Amino acid sequence: MENLLNVALIQHACPKTNNLSISIAGIKQAAAKGCELVVLPELHCSPYFCVTQDNKNFDLAETIPGPTCEALAKAAREYNVVIVGSVFERRTAGVYHNTAVVFERDGSIAGQYRKMHIPDDPGYNEKFYFTPGDLGFQPIKTSLATLGVLVCWDQWFPEAARLMAMAGAEILIYPTAIGWNQTDDRSIQQQQLDAWITIQRAHAIANGLPLLSCNRVGQETEDGDIFWGNSFICGAQGEILARCGDQAAVINAKIDLTASEKIRRSWPFLRDRRIDAYKGLLKRFSV
């Protein structure tokens, strides 16, 4: 017996100060396809402001709940879907987070996840803006499934996916903003994209869980990276079920929530973890 869940990714550009109308049009489109779970890209409300360090950008931050949450809550109610949205959270003066917020179908907030791994690279000045999350790797229970919501840079850390799986997540979900440096060769760009897809599929495989990754798309500033899209949905053995190209798109697929039980019986990795020998994982480096 399968237990199919129709899920959607709203891959879109975020060119304006307020892109909520784009997000909500996508949610409407996904609901029309019968989707029950909808995922938006990272920080979808505004252009990706972390390209520079500018104090004025803290004006973009909002409380949770706040105006963006209210709009997404309304959409969740109107279209009867669970929504994974992304908010630049103002917690207090001087404490801001990059936060994913999950809305139930009735518009209530099911839970939130504050991005734990914060990148900092040219064009991605996130350590300037975001205090590292302090909620840990706690999945969020919803009426559809228990969601292991992580955010972007987290996707490079097998530890994050594992901890979500071990805390009971039934789906891994990554709102994302990642792109190519325009000055890199096309071959390097393709290798990076391939690495990005590969490591996330590996989290699905390692943990026997379906995975949804929703990226932004397109170029927002003259010197900025080109967000590479390629959002995808894969099954519990990492098999690709749906994948976007580099244009805005709403894609969907039916994931089987019973697949994890089957896959984990065949490949019981969780049974065989050497927890007696993993203490080194709590170190920065061992040499």
> Which residues are catalytically annotated?
42, 115, 152
Single residue of 12, 44, 162, 243 touching a copy of itself by CB under 8 A: 162
The CB-of-39 to a copy of itself minimum distance in angstroms stands at 21
- CB-based burial, 145-155: b 16+ in 10 Å, e otherwise: bbbbbbbbbbb
- Looking at 206, 218, 226, 254, which residue binds a copy of itself (CB under 8 A)? 206
Minimum distance from residue 252 beta carbon to a copy of itself (Å): 21
Tell which one of 4, 32, 95, 195 touches a copy of itself (CB under 8 A): 195
Which window, 103-111, 153-161, 220-228, 251-259, contacts a copy of itself (CB under 8 A)?
Answer: 153-161
136 binding a copy of itself? (CB under 8 A)? yes
Q: Of 18, 131, 189, 192, which one interacts with a copy of itself (CB under 8 A)?
A: 192
d(CA 100, CA 115): 8
First to last CA, the chain: 50
CB of 59 to a copy of itself, least distance (A): 27
Q: Per CB under 8 A, does 119 bind a copy of itself?
A: yes
Q: With binding defined as CB under 8 A, does residue 267 bind a copy of itself?
A: yes
Summarize as ranges the residues that interact with a copy of itself (CB under 8 A). Answer: 116-119, 121, 132, 136-137, 153, 156-160, 162-163, 166-168, 191-192, 194-195, 198-199, 201-203, 205-206, 237-239, 266-270, 272-275, 277-287
